[in-house]
Amino acid sequence: MTSLIFAATCDIAGKVRGKAFPSDQLEKRLTRGVGWTPTNVQITCFDIIAESPFGAFGDLLLIPDKDAGVTATFGENTQRFMLGDIVTLEGAPWSHCTRSVLKSALERLRRVGGVDLLAAFEHEFQLKGENSFAGEAYGRAGFEAQRRLCETLMTQIAGAGLSPDSIMKEYGPNQYEVVIGPEKGVRAADAAVIVRELTRATAEHVGQQATYTPILDPATVGNGVHIHMSFLNLDGTPATHDANGVCGMSALTGSFASGVLKYLDGILAFTAPSVVSYLRLTPHRWSAAFNNLGFRDREASLRVCPVTARDPDSIARQFNIEYRAADAAACPHLALAAIVHAGCQGIEEGLAAPEPTEEDLSLLSMDELADRGFVRLPESLEAALEKMVTNDIVTGWFPVDFTAVYAAHKAAEIGHVADMDATDLCAAYAETY
């Protein structure tokens, strides 16, 4: 039997697509890759092709990265895939390669902040089928019912070279949460893709179906992706914390956080990129509805996370901020790139650290919100896209035409579900994610 390696990209739709080649060709493929087509970037999560500036023309290469490979064995079945970059035939990064877009955001962070990024994606997902565990929020019985799935998944995550942190029965019906340790730079986004792929494969292996849809049922909570971020100086020392800073943030972290909040409405279409994402981003779901910083507040878009140890070095290393307005319809590379660019913009503009909120912002009037510099985040994907494409600063962070192509992609996705009622809409997204 010929063993195959799947060379993959996580694209604008947040889907993992690619082509497989015989594993004995790996050496050659690490430089020559597999052939790729520009218009593939316009394949939406529903597999319809959005308006494409590339048409039927052009050729690209998808080059697998030897440091982003996974071999996962489930009984008789071995799955092997490698994430990679899309390049032109001349070898330059392709303008619509999500991994390359993230790399350039991380280069900007080095340039303007003198730091590297560590990030950890915390994921919630649900198992499809009857909810046999009403009342099992955080429960042991709910966990034990899926112990095999949880143990298999954590084993696979470790096998992929990542660090399993914790796993639990989350609040929602059949909802679980899986957390991994931080990874540096692009590897953090690769890790998020790997966790999602391994979750689906593990669920299938134990006879279940997992979905990472942003929300399965509007009557309950959504499936969030919370992105924890901290910074390292180039000598590897931690740069996120300052005991005397606002909420313990260093000046750099404070400016980064302010940039994220200032440009949040313009980047939301990247981090919450599906039509159903906006059913999740409503007040009182512990998701995110306003552009505020919370100090240990789980309704804020950005949250300063708790630290547990007393010695200063450990605190400085643990200290991190969490972006909560994301979900798994987003390509992790693109979501992280957008957040990093917004943060860099805050550093470049020399913004002061945001003051944390300690109240329920949904109780304030629009005028009161505006007086204090807060906005209600866009309440639909259309509104979020409008904020993105009309913000020249945001569009300027990306390669020429990137946001226009992205908006056309998302317009086709919106068009596809336009006539669906809420039940059909949630079912369609649960199917694709």
Binding part of the chain for ligand GLU, among 28-36, 93-101, 221-229, 344-352 by CB under 6 A, reads 221-229
Residue number closest to Mg ion, CB atom: 177
Q: Minimal distance in Å, beta carbon 222 to Mg ion?
A: 10
CB of 133 to ligand GLU, least distance (A): 16
| DSSP state string for 288-338 | --BS-EEES-TTSSEEEPP----SHHHHHHH--EEEEEE-TTS-HHHHHHH
Measured over the CA atoms of residue 340, residue 344, residue 346 and residue 347, the dihedral's sign is positive
What x-and-dash track marks residues 174-193 binding Mg ion by CB under 5 A?
---x----------------
Burial of 315 per CB tally in 10 Å (0-12, 13-18, 19+): middle
d(C-alpha 277, C-alpha 228), whole Å: 19
Q: Of 80, 298, 376, 416, which one interacts with ligand GLU (CB under 6 A)?
A: 298
CA distance 294 to 226: 14
Q: Among residues 336, 302, 324, 264, which one has the least CA distance to residue 119?
A: 336
Are residues 343 and 259 in contact, defined by beta-carbon separation less than 8 angstroms?
A: yes
Is residue 224 close enough to count as binding ligand GLU by CB under 6 A?
A: yes
Sign of CA dihedral 418, 423, 426, 430: negative
70, 180, 192, 221: residue in contact with ligand GLU (rule CB under 6 A):
221
Work out how close the CB of 172 gets to ligand GLU at its nearest, in angstroms, rounded to a whole number.
Answer: 7
For residue 80, which of 13, 1, 12, 184 has the smallest C-alpha distance? 1
Query: Judged by CB under 6 A, does residue 103 bind ligand GLU?
Result: no
Nearer to Mg ion, 177 or 217 (CB): 177
Nearest to 329 by CA among 400, 375, 281: 281
Least Å distance between CB 124 and Mg ion? Answer: 5
124 binds ligand GLU (CB under 6 A): yes
386 three-state secondary structure: helix
Determine if 72 is a binding residue for ligand GLU (CB under 6 A).
no
Q: Of residues 309-348, which lie at the interface with ligand GLU (CB under 6 A)?
A: 324
Tell how strand 16-22 and strand 4-10 pair up: antiparallel
Nearer to Mg ion, 73 or 166 (CB): 166
**Can you spell out the DSSP letters for 24-83?**
GGHHHHHHH-EEE-GGGGGB-TTSPBPP-SSTT---EEEEEEEEEEEEEEETTEEEEEEE
Of 241 and 280, which CB lies nearer to Mg ion in the complex structure? 280
Q: Is 287 in the site for ligand GLU (CB under 6 A)?
A: yes
Tell me if residue 232 falls in helix, strand or coil.
strand
Q: Which of 169, 205, 280, 317 binds ligand GLU (CB under 6 A)?
A: 280
Length of the chain: 433
Choice from 222, 254, 332, 356 touching ligand GLU (CB under 6 A): 222
Residue 298 near which of ligand GLU, Mg ion, none (CB within 5-8 Å, type-dependent): ligand GLU
Q: Among Mg ion, ligand GLU, none, what does residue 280 contact (CB within 5–8 Å per kind)?
A: ligand GLU
Give the Cα separation of 43 and 52 in Å (integer): 9
Q: Is 42 in the site for ligand GLU (CB under 6 A)?
A: no
Cβ of residue 326: shortest distance to ligand GLU, in angstroms? 9
Q: Which is nearer to ligand GLU, 262 or 324 (CB)?
A: 324
Report phi then psi at 129, rounded to 5. Answer: 110, -175
CB-nearer residue toward Mg ion: 170 or 413: 170
Contact flag: residue 327 with Mg ion (CB under 5 A): no
* Shortest distance, position 304 Cβ to Mg ion, whole Å: 17
Q: Which residue ranges make up the site for Mg ion (CB under 5 A)?
A: 177
Q: Which residue ranges make up the site for ligand GLU (CB under 6 A)?
A: 124, 221-222, 224, 280, 285-287, 298, 324
